[in-house]
Structure 1
Amino acid sequence: MDIQITANIRNELLLRNEVEFTLTFDGATPSRKEIIGKLGALLDANEEKMALDSIKTHYGSRVGKGLARIYDTPEARARTEREYLVARGQPKAEAEE
């Protein structure tokens, strides 16, 4: 999996960087957790401060375009990010019996 940053725009009002990237991969589309981990390592950012918005791939293609947001603090992410986007890619809690 290879990630190239195509745009990195600073949004001071919401205390975040808005990152557009191109993803090249072999096989199946990587999971959101893998993409966040690789993007965090590439940009030296903590996963608690990141939110992966979208990944778009064309049928049969090994290239995708994505959008992620990297916040200054986890509190800033919690304040502005939609809960379902934060919950995506997280391990599911085991059902209590």
Structure 2
Amino acid sequence: MDIKFESYEENPEFSRKEISFCLFFEGAIPSKESIKKDISLCYGVEPDLIALEKLRVVKGKKVANGKARVYSDASAIKKYER
């Protein structure tokens, strides 16, 4: 699995970073947990601080487009995510 980050925006009001990415994979689509783990390695945070907003597979290709929110701390993610 390989992730290419396409956009990045700081949102200090919600203590988070909002990112868009393109995911390239082989075989079955990776689990949400493995995607969070890879994003966490890039941003230096725990996977529990990442909320995947959406993940859409490109029909007929081993590519998916997604959005995620990377929070700065556990209290922020609890406050703004369900």
TM-score range for the pair, normalised by the shorter chain length:
over 0.9
CA apart distance, 1:3: 0.2
With structure 2 as the length reference, what TM-score do the two structures score?
Answer: 0.94
Give per-residue Cα distances to partners, 1:51-90, cap 9 Å, x unaligned.
11111012221111111101111100000112xxxxxxxx
Q: How many equivalent residue pairs?
A: 82
Q: Structure 1: give runs of 5+ residues left out of the alignment.
A: 83-97
Q: Which has the higher contact order (CA 8 A, sep 6+)?
A: 2
Tell me the SS of whatever aligns to 1:60: coil
CA distance in 2, matches of 1:53, 1:60: 22
With structure 1 as the length reference, what TM-score do the two structures score?
Answer: 0.80
Alignment of 1:2-41 (within 5 A): 2-41=2-41
Q: Larger strand proportion, structure 1 or 2?
A: 2
Q: Structure 2: give runs of 5+ residues left out of the alignment.
A: none
Give the counterpart letter for 1:3 in structure 2: I
| 4+ long deviations beyond 2 Å | none
